[in-house]
Structure formats: C-alpha cells, structure tokens
Structure 1
Amino acid sequence: MNPAEFWKNFRLGEELSISGAFIYNGLRRFYELRKLDHPDEIFEVLYNLSVGIERLLKIAVVLLEHADSQDQEALEQSLRTHNHLELLRRIRGHCRINLASPHNELLALLGTFYKSHRYDRFSMSSITDLEKEKDALFSYVGKHLNVDIPVSDSLFGTPNDARYKKFLHRIVQTICRALYDVVRLRASYLNLYTYELRHGSKAETIFLGDADIPAENVLWKELLLFFMNTKSSSGYLDFLRSIEPLDFDPELVDEYLDCFQSDAAKSLVIGELESHYEDVADKGKRLELIEVIGSPGVYFDDPDEEESLD
C-alpha cells in the first residue's frame, strides 16, 4: 500500500469516525434542549453539526479528486475552507447527489455560522445584533415547517417543540446518508475501506443507523424500571442492593430523573450530592463501591450458581 492509499484508507477512515461523532453530538444536544433561549446552547448544536458535516464533505472531495499526478499541496490548500456549499459543488462535479433546497439551505446556514457567526461576539458591532445564530436557526426551521417560532421574553422561554427536533434530525440524516454513500461507493471503486465504521460508534449510528435518540431515551427509562422492579437475584444485583442509598428528596424525583438525559440538570443537582457526601462517614470507601458500578471487566459470583455446584 503506497502512502496515498494509506492516507485515504486509514487517515480518512479516522476522519469519518470523527465526523460522525461531531454530527451525533450536535443532534443529541439539540434533542436535549428543552428551551431555545440560550445562545451558548444553540452555538453548541450548530458548531458540532458544522464541523462534522464539513469534515464529511472534505472526505468525499479527497476521494473524488485526489490523483497521484495531482499537486498534493494545491489539493490540501483547497480544503482549507469552511464553505459547505462550495465543497458540495465540487462533489457534484463528479457524481450525482440527491439533496434538495432544505438540505442546501442548512449547509449554507452551517457554512455562514462557522465562517462568521461564531466569531461575531469578538467584535464590538455584535452589541447591536446579539443572536445571529439563533435567529438564523429560527428562520430556517420556521420557513420549512411553516411556523413562526416566537422569540419569547417570558419566564417560560421558547420551547423546543418535538416538530423542530424531528425536522432537524431528518434533514441532517438525509445529508449524511447521501454523503456517506458517496464515500462508500468511491472507496469501494478505489478498493479502499475508508467507509468501514467501528461497531457501536457514534459514526455508525449516524451513517448506518437512524440516530434514533428518542429510542435511546426509551432505553434508559426501561432499564431504570427494570432495576427498580426486578425481583431477580444475581451477584451484581445483590451488590447494588447492598449499598445504602443517599437521602435524596422524594419530592424532587422529576429533577433527579432529568439528570439521566440532560447535562444542565446534572449541574443543578450536583450541589445536593456534595452536601450528602459531607454526611458520609467513610467517603473514600463509598466512592470505591460506586466506582465499581458500570466498570468494564467486573464480575460477581452468582449465588444461584454456587448453590447448584453444591
């Protein structure tokens, strides 16, 4: 395998995984948002999506345009761009890719965000135009869903409607599937394995799965119900039951459950956890026990198996 083949086979394969991780993180973060009022949270969504999709576009461009006889430095310099639509234009110069206006407009939005909006607050002129990325997202989603997303000043804020989540998920998934197909087909033609994805990775979820984030939330809730209600016994379950629970407030169950699906919720409850730990007699011993939970390679003897051996 020559250096060019190694580059396209392995280094771009790593980039594909990085791309998928960014895209998944962006979709996951948008799904987690209860409100659409905070610029830092909108920024996080758009940043992850823009970086992830830009890298995916560049992978496809390299696979389509690179040739041994080509000026390598010129190709690499041409990739130093954040213009998503220009990268898509280069791809379309080599193959057909079925993306419509809503997809192209999102790519334009992400390109503008990454090139200019993300730097705006470093300029004094931003004091007269406070939330460009938020306004751009509201305008885009509102246009294609034919809704007027209110910019609320009330204490309740602007809810992140399920329609918005479903719409953005569908548009991003369509873009990613189309671009991944380009990568897969071109890599196969070149007898490369750039398109291969690690099982269980975020990239696999994005490019080969449905990135079904609502189903992931169903999963943790079902597992929680299982742990709460199972009467079964095992070494691991007996270990979990042997740890005395902290004295959390039953009246705040809704806030505690939100910690399973929201980083912001964790930050609101962590202070209470620290307060409880002040009352723990042997904090170090408890932390050792807690560390075991969920750690890989942990094995507990099963009492039922021991009895059967007797």
Structure 2
Amino acid sequence: MDPIEFFFNFYLGRELGVCGELLYNGFNSLENNSPIIRDEDYLTYANESYAFSFLINTSVAFERLEKIILLFLINQESPDKIASFLNIKMKSNFSDDDVFKNNIFEYVDDMSAFPKPEFNRLMDHHNLNIVAYINQLKSKTIELNTDEKHLLNILDTFYDSFRYGRFHPKDFSARGYAHDTELLNDLLTHWEQNGEPVSSDKEHNLYVLGRCINKLAKKYYDIIKKFAEKMNIFTYELHDDSNAQTVFLNINDSLHDIFVQKRITREELLYNLAYNQIKELASDEIPDKLPIEFDIIEDFLLYGDDNYFSDSVNETLDIALAEDDDDYEPYSNKEKIITREKLIHGLLLMFSKTKK
C-alpha cells in the first residue's frame, strides 16, 4: 500500500467514522429532549443547546463527508495533486524490491499546493459550495433533491451567520439571541403531510427530518465506497456496532427509527424487570415479556447505550411477533411494534404511579 492509498484508506477511513458519529450525536440532541410548541407554526426546544448541538454536528459532518469525496475525486482526476498535498513524489530511481514493498515514493519539503479553486473548497465551510465544485469537476457526482438542498442551505446559514452569533449580536429583539432555534424550527416545520404542514407532531417531524438526513448520509457513503473500491482500499469499513455504522448502514428509512429502537430497548428492559409486579396489578391480559439476553447487558448498564444490546432486543422482538402472527413481516410491519410499545409504555406508567 503506497502513501496515497494509505492516506485514503486509514486517515479518511477514520474521518468517515467521525462523520457518522457526528450525525448520530447531532440527531440524538433532538430525540432525547422535549420540544416546546409555542403556536401552531412553531416547534422548537426550550434549551437552545439542543438546537445548536444538532446544527453544528450535522453541518460539520456533511462538510467533512463532502471533502472526503472531493479528495477522492481530485485523486482520480489528478493524483499528482494528492501527492503534492501529502508532500510526496515518485522516486526518480527505484529497484524491483522497492516496487514489491511499495516503497516508490519519497517525502519532500517543497511541493506546490492545490490550485486556488480546490484549496478554497477544501477550506470552505459551506456545504452547497463544496457540492457545486465537486459537480463542476465531475458532473452529477452528487445529485441533491429539493429537501436535501434545503437542509444543506439551513446548515450553511447557521455555520456562516449564527455559529458565533451570541458573541457578536446584531439583533437585540426578543428572538435575536436564538437564531439557531429559529433555523431548527424552519427544518422541523418544513415537511408536509398530505399537503398540510405538520408542526405539532414531534414524532412525524423527526421522522421526516431523519429520513432526509439518512438518505443524504447514505448517498455520500455510497459515493465514497465506490471511489474506495476503484482504488481497491477499504475506506468505507466502519467499527462494528459503532454509532457511525448504525447511521451509514441503517436499514430503516430514517435516523429517527434508530432512536425509536433505542426507546424500545429501554422500555422492554424495564418491562421485563417489572413484569411480575405489573401482571399482578393489571386487570386485563398483558403482553408477554421478551427473553432478553442479560449476559450481554454490561456495556448498556455501564454506558447507558449499546448498539449490540439494542439490536439484540429489537431482533428478539421481531422474532417474538413473528411467532405470534404467521403474516408478520420482520423489519417492515411497524404497526404491531408500535401497538405493543404503546401498551407497554402505559403499563410502565401505571406501575410507576403505584410506587409513589
């Protein structure tokens, strides 16, 4: 593996994982906090740090993904520029042994940098600028739909104008200190259902926002994977059971589905532990508890979350529902899961009230 391949495989491979973690953490900021509904057109969060965390993490993640794609594209079109960027050049003389060991590059101190347009985009923080330049180098490398353009435009507006807005305010109105929550509101109320805006339904808004982010993240990941495969390297490989793997290899439609599964994990665990007491209290028949694998629960208990344990609980739930219903289709029939979880949620609340 020569230095260029090493750079794309290991350095940018780790960068890809960082991007996935940023996307996960950004969306997690919205999922695990309650919104404040101010009026029929406004849905946002009382604590502005949630909006800021989502916007900064998501903006930086997509920017860095775009720069990975840009570097791959530059290398494909002009590998000498990447060699220049890495301060290496082909040796003027090398032996057969050097070729065998991939020792055909040498490091140098005085190499030219990227041309100004490429340098500017690599230093740019505007997603749409970077995407436009990528498509200028190679047409239709990244094709964005209307919702994806809207998302990136909101992220660019935040990063350009409001990242440090509270340090240097230009607006002293009642909402002047909360432009990040205004931008988040724009995203959360952007989506429509049956032609009508849905602004008060947190679940729906997070689902459609998560669907847009999920689709764009997978689009970028697939582009990076294709570039890597052409170089016969493995930039696209992700740490097992990492949040990045959960994001980029998400089999569901939306990032929101990931966090619904996390919620199911928590409630199924609590239900399992309190099952006998709930059964004594309940007047009607209640759902059976899941056979949870407690021997893999340690990381979940230590860190409050564990993708391996969460996957195990949700797969067990799929199997249990499939056994109860011959027509059940695992991973696609969400209605039965939602019905069960609403019932379990209510039973847990009933149980909690008896302990006051």
TM-score band w.r.t. shorter chain: 0.5 to 0.7
Are residues 1:46 and 2:55 paired?
Answer: yes
**Is there any run of 5+ residues in structure 1 with no aligned partner, and where?**
150-158, 237-252, 258-310
Structure-to-structure mapping, 1:189-228, within 5 angstroms: 189-209=230-250, 210=252, 211=255, 212-228=258-274
Where does residue 10 of structure 1 map in the other structure? 10
Are residues 1:69 and 2:69 paired?
Answer: no
Where does residue 91 of structure 1 map in the other structure? 134
Distance 2:187 2:207 in 1: 14
Where does residue 143 of structure 1 map in the other structure? 190
1:180 is displaced (CA, Å) by 0.6
Distance 1:65 1:55 in 2: 15
Are residues 1:105 and 2:168 paired?
Answer: no
Q: Could you say what secondary structure the match of 2:191 adopts?
A: helix
Distance 2:52 2:166 in 1: 12
Distance 1:97 1:79 in 2: 16
Distance 2:183 2:33 in 1: 17
1:144 is displaced (CA, Å) by 2.8
Q: Comparing both structures, which one devotes a greater share of its residues to helix?
A: 1
Distance 1:226 1:7, change over 3 A: same
1:55 is displaced (CA, Å) by 1.3
Distance 1:37 1:69, change over 3 A: same
The question of whether the paired residues in 2 share the 8 Å contact of 1:57 and 1:179 is answered with: yes
1:178 is displaced (CA, Å) by 0.6
Structure-to-structure mapping, 1:123-142, within 5 angstroms: 123-128=168-173, 129-142=176-189
Where does residue 272 of structure 1 map in the other structure? none
1:39 is displaced (CA, Å) by 1.7
Distance 1:13 1:228, change over 3 A: same
Name segments (4+ residues, structure 1) moved above 4 Å: none
Where does residue 161 of structure 1 map in the other structure? 202
Distance 1:77 1:8, change over 3 A: farther
Where does residue 115 of structure 1 map in the other structure? 160
Distance 1:123 1:235, change over 3 A: closer
Distance 1:53 1:25 in 2: 13
The question of whether the paired residues in 2 share the 8 Å contact of 1:63 and 1:186 is answered with: yes
The question of whether the paired residues in 2 share the 8 Å contact of 1:8 and 1:194 is answered with: yes
1:130 is displaced (CA, Å) by 2.3
Distance 2:119 2:141 in 1: 24
Q: Could you say what secondary structure the match of 2:197 adopts?
A: coil
Q: Could you say what secondary structure the match of 2:124 adopts?
A: coil
Distance 1:19 1:134 in 2: 23
Where does residue 276 of structure 1 map in the other structure? none
The question of whether the paired residues in 2 share the 8 Å contact of 1:120 and 1:126 is answered with: no
1:5 is displaced (CA, Å) by 1.3
Root-mean-square deviation over aligned CA pairs: 2.7
Where does residue 37 of structure 1 map in the other structure? 46
Distance 2:198 2:208 in 1: 15
* Paired amino acid for 1:80: M
Distance 1:148 1:229, change over 3 A: closer
Q: Could you say what secondary structure the match of 1:127 adopts?
A: coil
1:57 is displaced (CA, Å) by 1.3
Q: Comparing both structures, which one devotes a greater share of its residues to strand?
A: 2
Distance 1:57 1:19 in 2: 10
Return 71-80 or 208-217, whichever deviates more: 71-80
Where does residue 182 of structure 1 map in the other structure? 223
**Is there any run of 5+ residues in structure 2 with no aligned partner, and where?**
36-44, 86-112, 277-288, 296-347
Where does residue 58 of structure 1 map in the other structure? 67
The question of whether the paired residues in 2 share the 8 Å contact of 1:17 and 1:203 is answered with: yes
Task: Write out per-residue CA displacement over residues 144-171 of structure 1, whole angstroms, 9 at most, x where no aligned residue.
Answer: 324374xxxxxxxxx6611111111001
1:175 is displaced (CA, Å) by 0.6
The question of whether the paired residues in 1 share the 8 Å contact of 2:20 and 2:248 is answered with: yes
1:99 is displaced (CA, Å) by 2.3
- When normalised by structure 2's length, the TM-score is 0.59
- When normalised by structure 1's length, the TM-score is 0.67
Count of matched residue positions in the alignment of Structure 1 and Structure 2: 230
1:198 is displaced (CA, Å) by 1.3
